[in-house]
Amino acid sequence: MHFKSYATAALYGLPALANAMPSASPSPDVSLTSDSTSSDSGHFTEYTIKAENITAKFIPYGARLTHLLVPDSNGNTQDVVAGYDDPKQYLHDSETNRTFFGAVVGRYANRIKNGTFSIDGNTYHIPENEHGGVDTLHGGPVGYDMRNWTVTTHSESSITFTLFDEALENFPGDVINHAVFSLSTEKSSENPKGLPQLTTKLVSLALTEKTPIMLANHIYWNLNAFKNPTILNDTTLQMPLSGRVIAADTIEVPTGEILDVQTAFNGSLDFTEGKLVGQDLSEMSGVCGEGCTGVDTCFLIDRPPAYAAPDSFVPSVHLSSDKTGITLDVATNQAALQIYTCNGQNGTIATKESQAKRNKEQDGDAGAAYVNQYGCIVIETEDWIDGINQPQWGRLPYQIFGPDDGPAVNWATYQFGTL
C-alpha cells in the first residue's frame, strides 16, 4: 500500500536511530517480565499490552506475539496462539524447527523462486534457504523473524518495534521497518459492538534503492486453545472474497497460473461459504506440495465493486471454534491471504504449559500435549506471493518500493467475539 504523504513517511522513519540502543525500558504502568540475565536479555524481555477482555504479550526477538488472551463463550480466558512460555525457546526454535511462531517475517514474506528477481533490468540474488537451494523463504537464512527488533514506543495498550535493515541478506538498499501492535475495544464503524481487537500495522520505508518489500505477521492461531488435538473438526473457516488461488508447483513456488476454488482440487479450497477446516481434507493431496495434504495456499482477495481501491480495507476472514465458541474476524488492506493449516507440524513441539494448566483447571483435561499436524492455522495478510517474478500479474507497484515512494503498509485487524 502506497501513501504519497512524504511528511508522514519522514515521521515514520525517525525512530531508526533507536535501533542502535538496547530495547526501551517499559513505562512504569505497563507489565514486563524477564528471567534472562545474559547480555542480550532485552531481546527476550516480555512486554504485555492490555485492553478490556484482551491481553497480548510480545518479545523483541522477531517482533513476536507470544500470547493472546481472550474470553470464550463461557467467559473463561483462553490463549489462542501457539508458541512458548519461555521466551528463550524462540531462539532454540530458530536454530532447530524455525516455525516462525508469532513473528514478523520479511524483508519479503513467503517464497522467492531461485532466490532471484529483477528490478529495472538489474538482477539480484539472495541466499536460498529451502528445498536444497531452490527458493528463498521468508527473507532468507536470517530473516526478520531472527532479528532483534528495538522497542521504540510502549504504552498500556500498544507497542512499536523498529528494525533497520541495512541491505540484510543481499537485498538491495536499506529499509526502516516498524511493527505496530495495539489493542482496543472502542466502538467504531468497523467494530460496532466494541469487540476486543488487535490491530497490526507493518510499516516499511525504502531509504536508498528500489527493493522488494512484503512483510507479514506469522501468527499460529488455535481458537480451541489446544483443547482438541487438531482444528479439523471444530474450526470453521470462511473467506467470502477468495474465489481464486495462486497455483503452486511441487515445492510451493507459484507457477503463474490462477485457479478457481470451485474447480481446483475438486472444490476443496472453496471456503467462500464457510466450512470446517477438515471437511474436504481428503481432496487436498498435493495442495501444499508433493507428498503433502492440507492447505498452504495463497488465496486472492477480490474486492467487490463497492470497494473502489484495490488496497481498500476489507473484511477477509471469519474463523470460529465450536469447542470454545471463540470467533475471529480478520480485515486487511492487503490483496491476498496465505493460509497454512500446520501440515508440517508433527507433534514434537509441546504446547505451552500455561495453556495445559488453564485447560486442566477449566476442563479437568490438559488438552493437546503437542502442536500436532493440523493443530493450528496461519493467516498471513500479504500481497500475491512471488509477484516480483510474475510481472504479468501487475503487482509490482505493490511490492517494489524506492526512496521516492511512500511507505509499504500491511494493515490488519483481528477482532474477537463468541458464537
Active-site annotation, residues: 218, 380
Strand locations in 185-335, DSSP E?
197-206, 211-212, 216-218, 220-221, 235-238, 244-248, 254-260, 275-276, 296-300, 314-321, 326-332
Q: Is the Cβ–Cβ distance between 251 and 134 less than 8 Å?
A: yes
Kindly state the cell numbers that stand for 211.
527493493
Q: Reduced to 3 DSSP states, what percent helix, strand and coil does the chain have, rounded to the nearest 5?
A: 15, 40, 50
Residue type, 114: N
List alpha helices for 269-415, DSSP H: 353-363
Backbone phi, psi, residue 42, to 5°: -60, -30
Q: Is 142 helix (H, G, I), strand (E, B) or coil?
A: coil
Helix H or strand E segment including 11: helix 6-13
Q: Is the Cβ–Cβ distance between 296 and 287 less than 8 Å?
A: yes
Residues 6+ apart with CB under 8 A from 37: none
Q: Is the Cβ–Cβ distance between 382 and 109 less than 8 Å?
A: yes
Cis peptide before 107 (omega within 30 of 0): yes
Q: How far apart are CA 25 and CA 32, in angstroms?
A: 9
